[in-house]
Amino acid sequence: MPIFEFGSGGLAAAESTSFEGERLQERRDIQSALRERIDAIDSNLMVLAEEFSDWQDSSRRIDLLCLDANANLVVVELKRTEDGGHMELQAIRYAAMVSSMNFDQAVDTLARWRNRGEPDTDQARLDVLSFLGWDEPDEDSFAQETRIVLVAADFGKELTTSVMWLRDRGVDVRCVRLKPYRLSDGRVLLDIQQLIPLPEAADFQTKLGVKKLAERKNRAERHELRFRFWQSILGRARESTDLHANRSPGDGNWISGATGRAGFDLSYVTRQRDSQVELWIHNDKEAFRQLSADREAIETEFGAPLEWMDVEGKGARVRFVVDGGYRSPEEEWPRIHEELIDAMIRLDRAMRRRVHAIRP
């Protein structure tokens, strides 16, 4: 949308231009201007250094290294191009390299940027503390996160897709567009807009991001617990039976084993608070009917009642449930595993010959 100048003759559209067309250089003009007015892109930033490169074995430079009011480090990467290039990749690398900076290093960085020959670390320390509203340094709260702000004339679809993907995974990356306009008298205006996230949606997206991160963390924890649950039970089971000897632990909620007849599986299943052994019958109602007709004999041989379930549109299962699942205290796992292994051996003994005797 164009910018209009309101004059005596009404509205006059300002001419859209480009940094190249105005002969404005990335470092000499744009970067230096933002360095002096960093609040133009974020009102809660303090510049710690320009062209920061204080690391070993690398000549790479951060355009502007900043600190925000929450004591997070902020990498500001600039491009005057209209697609942003691959600036997000550069910025991620820079953020990783600077993420270990502590409070004293930040103070030293600011002091040396202001005067490399005679750095005044005392004044820099006071200025950083004042900006953060601290009476003294708090290392536990300093640089807990490293944010990224990408500033460019515009952003291509590949870049914005990458940024949205990173944000969805908890990385605080923002895109700020700088759009120059020329007025009739030769003056150049700069329209500065945060595109990602949209300011009016930022709070909602932050809450959504926190929720997604919590869900992702819970999912990762769940997968790790189930993997260890299966690793333990498969190791124990091999001491008593070869039913699942060729199976490897995974992070799913079941481990299946063969009965020697296609369409019939003997499986371990675990949930958060209970587990089960089951014979799963793949979409064969007649097989389920024939087994059900022999239910009393099967349960007698198994040694306990079984649950017989017709799962509409999928198949059927005959199962035995054990108290305790993968979220049970780990000191209870040996008992749970022993009960499951014993139940699996008894279920196999009661079912295998009957499964092979089922008439098509």
- My answer on whether 28 and 169 are in the same domain is yes
319 or 219: whose pLDDT is higher? 319
What is the per-residue pLDDT across 168-179, written as a single tens digit (0 to 9) for each? 888 899 999 988
- My answer on whether 43 and 169 are in the same domain is yes
- My answer on whether 232 and 179 are in the same domain is no
What is the per-residue pLDDT across 101-144, written as a single tens digit (0 to 9) for each? 999 999 999 999 999 999 999 999 999 999 998 888 888 889 98
- My answer on whether 289 and 345 are in the same domain is yes
* Residue 289 located in a structural domain: yes
- My answer on whether 77 and 28 are in the same domain is yes
- My answer on whether 52 and 188 are in the same domain is yes
Mean pLDDT across 196-221: 62
Q: How many CB atoms lie within 10 A of CB 71?
A: 21
Report whether pLDDT(283) > 90: no
pLDDT in the model for residue 211: 61
265 or 202: whose pLDDT is higher? 265
Q: How many CB atoms lie within 10 A of CB 205?
A: 15
* Residue 138 located in a structural domain: no
Contacts of 239 (CB under 8 A, 6+ apart): none
Helix (H) or strand (E) holding 336: helix 333-357
* Residue 338 located in a structural domain: yes
Mean pLDDT across 249-256: 88
Report whether pLDDT(1) > 70: no
- My answer on whether 168 and 281 are in the same domain is no
Q: 204 falls in which pLDDT band (50, 70, 90)?
A: very low
- My answer on whether 89 and 49 are in the same domain is yes
pLDDT in the model for residue 32: 87
Mean pLDDT across 280-294: 92
Query: Which residues constitute the domain of residue 80?
Result: 4-101+143-196
Mean pLDDT across 323-334: 94
Report whether pLDDT(90) > 50: yes
What the block records as the tokens of 182 is: 């020329």
Query: First and final CA of the chain: distance in angstroms?
Result: 71
Structural domains of the chain, count: 2
Instruction: Provide DSSP, 256-269.
Output: EEE-SSTTEEEEEE
* Residue 300 located in a structural domain: yes
- My answer on whether 150 and 242 are in the same domain is no
- My answer on whether 147 and 63 are in the same domain is yes
pLDDT in the model for residue 208: 52
Report whether pLDDT(200) > 50: no
Residue 263 Cα to chain centre, angstroms: 38
Q: 216 falls in which pLDDT band (50, 70, 90)?
A: low
- My answer on whether 192 and 232 are in the same domain is no
CATH of the domain at 75: 3.40.1350.10
Mean pLDDT across 223-237: 92
* Residue 120 located in a structural domain: no
pLDDT in the model for residue 223: 86
pLDDT in the model for residue 129: 93
* Residue 134 located in a structural domain: no
* Residue 257 located in a structural domain: yes
Is the whole model's pTM more than 0.75, yes or no?
Answer: no
* Residue 8 located in a structural domain: yes
What is the per-residue pLDDT across 53-67, written as a single tens digit (0 to 9) for each? 876 666 788 999 999
Contacts of 4 (CB under 8 A, 6+ apart): 11, 12, 13, 14
